[in-house]
Amino acid sequence: NLWIYDENSYPSGFAGGLVPDAMPESRGRGLAFREETKPGKAGPEVVAVFRLTEDAAEDVTDKARGSDPLPEGKYLMASVVRAGDSPWYGGRCYVDLLYPGVTEKFLAITLDPYQKEKEIGGQFGKRVPGSFADEPQLKPADGLPWTDDLPQQFEKRWGYRLTDHLPSLERPVGDWKRIRHNYYQTLLDLFIERWSKPYFDYCAKRKLEFTGHYWEQDWPNCIGVPDNMAMSAWQQRPGIDILMNQYREDTHAQFGNIRSCRELSS
């Protein structure tokens, strides 16, 4: 039997640079924070600007976009940054898997050609059981995961504006535990809706099994993958990739770590 490996290198999603080549808007996005004493006029990449005090953060974004400069002080700037090119990504970049249409473009570039080849496509569900994805993730650029419509998706789910509370993602101010929970839950929802389900459905229609793994060994860090178990639910044959041949019992131990196995078997 022959399993299709969906990628040139990893993490899955960029297809050796062919996805960002065909879809420049797929270039990965991140939300980066920096402190400034003289922020200057906020450019289009700036999502929000906050004046910091000892225990609070005041939103001064509208003033920062105005013609009058802000007075000197302590400010937190939240800006969108884009993934850089790298030889690892075929001279291109990793992609924003939450941007609508990126997963579909990736599947069309990566798996459609196999289906068109009679010797391979004719064996889908037979000698070719399925496709393996390797560590797709949500942190393609510096900072925290971001995509263009994340604020709208967040407000739709939780009834308040994420951009009003961005400092809570970066430091313990305000109701930061609730804000962070809601932020990561929104990321997870979108990751399932825009990556896992489309991949699962693509394979189901072609009698393939979607397999592979996410970043289970990085738990409990939830930046790249908020919830491995929720993602695995949308694979016909969920998998893990436990590599390190050593005996350890700490949180990040891989060899002999039964947590991942129990998650999948459930």
Phi and psi, residue 86, nearest 5°: -155, 150
Q: Within 13 A of 80's CA, how many CA atoms are on the CB side?
A: 17
166 pLDDT tier (thresholds 50, 70, 90): very high
**Cβ-proximal residues to 248 (8 Å cutoff; 6+ apart), any chain:** 254, 255, 256
Q: pLDDT > 70: what percent of the chain?
A: 95
The predicted pLDDT at position 144 comes to: 97
> How far from each other are the two terminal CA atoms of the chain, in whole angstroms?
27
Is residue 17 within 8 Å of 141, Cβ to Cβ?
A: no
Would you state the structure tokens that stand for residue 242, as one six-digit string? Answer: 């436990």
The predicted pLDDT at position 246 comes to: 65
Name the least confident of 154-158, 180-184, 239-243. 239-243
The predicted pLDDT at position 67 comes to: 82
Is residue 17 within 8 Å of 89, Cβ to Cβ?
A: yes
Q: Please return the burial class of 156, using the count of CB atoms within 10 Å of its CB with bins 0-12, 13-18 and 19+.
A: exposed
Is residue 20 within 8 Å of 101, Cβ to Cβ?
A: no
